[in-house]
Amino acid sequence: MKFDSFSPAGAARIRRLRALAGAVLIASGLTALPHADASAAAAATAPAAVHSKQDAADVARVQKYLNSLRTMTARFLQYGPDGSTAEGTLYLSRPGRLRVEYDPPTPVLIVSDGRLVHYYDSELRQVSTVRLSETPAAVLVRDKYDFSKDIRIIALQRGPGVLRVTLQDVDNPDTGLMAALRVAIEALFFRSLLRNSRAHVSDNRLEFSAARLLWLAALALHWSLLIIVLRHLRFALQPVPFFVPLLETFDGILQIGAPALLITDILVVAALLFLLGRRLVNPLLRYLSLFTDYFALLLLLGIVLSGIAMRYGARVDIVSVKALVLGLAAFRPVPPMAPNPLFLTHFFLVSALAIYLPFSKLVHFGGVFLSPTRNLANNSRRVRHVNPWNHAVPTHTYAEWEAENADVMRAAGLPLDGADHV
């Protein structure tokens, strides 16, 4: 689907798409909880807001109420960033079902079928589809709320007849420590690859599913390569680090054959063959694949297979190999007297990988630590970030905005934070 973002219709469409998240979150605050208001958009002042038994009891009451709420119909009033307003009706049926109908003249209808969110623009006669889990609506239509797991409480505020609980999705950490934890989970377990969806058409419907086999192959490949590299420290360090024998013992726990068959040898070969096979079998991937894609896989496969052949087949002088590696580390190489051809092949392929690595796609592993969508805290609702090189501009605070729109908000039944408007 394409549209011209510079045309009036395209610009209006972009504004509506950006406003989708705001509309759903605003509507989520309209739940009529007696003496309690669970708002995901409230301003937070301190994390981990539950400190007393009374706080815990109130939070448990809010959670119990939200879990008991299976259907809901509510009117909502949406404010755009340019000061415009839009009204409509929200229909909720948990789990998964959501319908947001805007009143004319806004030509928008939003529907969730439990898996996908469909955005229909009657003015442009176009439908946009996105996976439900990738939208704020996923929080609203989930089957069960659990504030101790995937939703975190960061603020608890009390007012006259109002209990406001500020919630945060764990996928959006607001502290540096939580952002570092998110990066660590991504680097160690490839969480985004598991959550990444693969689109396909089934029964004339667009469906999304996780590529779990690809995720398992990536895990097996990377973790096996890491353990193999750590095991090879036996040849590069003297004395041998204490954890190397432990890794070898764990890796050969199956105790099959002599020398023992290593688990990482099986996993890394299976993973490389799967990644190579999917590029050969899948017509789309085969069309998109370049020579460099095959070269990297074949190079790794050659290194692994030659190493396995040396371990279980050819006889290699380990002492001379270690002397060569230690000499290379000290820039005083000691070549073996009668090098095994298989060892020379293995050594050549490893050297080729070392030369090719800095200029290849294999350096993608550094991107996870440099991605601002992962390594930065999502605290823009609580902390104002200002570029130091920007010139000073007049700002419009929430208190000022609320003072200007207090009558409209009060008429819509929305709570007011300002004491002057209560």
Question: Is residue 330 classed as helix, strand or coil in its secondary structure?
Answer: coil
Residue 318 reports pLDDT greater than 50: yes
Determine how β-strand 37-39 pairs with β-strand 162-169.
parallel
CATH of domain 191-372: 1.20.950.20
Domain boundaries, the chain: 8-170, 191-372
Residue 268 pLDDT > 90: yes
- Residues 382-422: pLDDT tens digits? 677 777 787 777 778 888 888 899 999 889 988 887 655 44
Instruction: Read off the amino acid at residue 294.
Output: Y
The CATH topology of domain 8-170 is outer membrane lipoprotein receptor (LolB), chain A (2.50.20)
Lowest pLDDT segment from 267-276, 313-322, 401-410 = 313-322
Dump the DSSP string for 7-63. Answer: SHHHHHHHHHHHHHHHHHHHHHTT--BTTBEEESSSPPSSSS---SHHHHHHHHHHH
Q: Using an 8 Å Cβ cutoff, are 40 and 29 in contact?
A: yes
Whole-number pLDDT of residue 291: 93
Q: Where are the beta strands (DSSP E) in 342-400?
A: none
Q: In terms of Cα–Cα distance, which of 162, 114, 109 is closest to 140? A: 114
Say whether pLDDT at 28 is over 90: no
| Same CATH fold assignment for domains 8-170 and 191-372 | no
Model confidence pLDDT, tens digit, residues 182-196? 888 888 988 888 876
Burial bucket for residue 100 (CB in 10 Å: 0-12, 13-18, 19+):
buried
Digit-coded pLDDT (tens) for 195-206: 766 666 766 666
The predicted structure's pLDDT at residue 208: 65
231: tokens are 């095991």
Q: Across the chain, what does the average pLDDT equal?
A: 79
pTM: 0.62
